[in-house]
Amino acid sequence: MADVIAGLQQSQGDGPDWVLIENVPALIGDAEAFEWVLEDLAGLGFDGEWGVVSACAVGAPHTRERLFVVAYSDRVARALAGQRLVWPADLRPARRFAEGVDGGGGSVGG
């Protein structure tokens, strides 16, 4: 994934402003693997947030949960000026990259 984003940055100059990743929530449980993903994104100039959303939170007739990582470029971060993204009310609390995988802070990209 990081190679694709880096390739876009090289071919398009600025590269993408947003990256959306969807995966199983168990990825959070593998702190080493999840931190690797977040560090790759941070190393490419992205900040962002992640959270777990249940399918029923968006109208599906089942409760399967999915992890969503919403990463944004430094350009978007400046435009957000410290504001958080708006997530559905009934998902697990979203965290910023700088909060780290374990919530302790500062371990990813900062």
Neighbouring CB atoms inside 10 A of 67's CB total: 18
Residue 69 lies inside a defined structural domain of this protein: yes
CB contact at 8 A, 31 and 101? yes
Residue 44 lies inside a defined structural domain of this protein: yes
Residue 91 pLDDT more than 70?
A: no
The token pair that represents 68 in the structure block = 């969503």
Place of tokens 């400046």: 78
CATH of residue 80's domain is: 3.40.50.150
Whole domain around residue 64: which residue ranges? 16-99
Residue 8 lies inside a defined structural domain of this protein: no
In the chain, the number of structural domains is: 1
Residue 11 pLDDT more than 80?
A: no
- Is 52 in a helix, a strand, or coil? strand
The residue among 13, 102, 95, 104 whose CA lies nearest residue 52 is 95
pLDDT value at residue 102: 60
pLDDT tens for 26-70 read 998 898 888 888 888 888 888 888 888 888 877 888 888 888 899
Q: How confident is the model at residue 79 (pLDDT cuts 50, 70, 90)?
A: confident
Lowest mean pLDDT among 1-5, 60-64, 70-74: 1-5
Rounded to two decimals, what is the model's pTM?
0.74
pLDDT value at residue 108: 41
Residue 92 lies inside a defined structural domain of this protein: yes
The residue among 50, 60, 62, 57 whose CA lies nearest residue 25 is 50
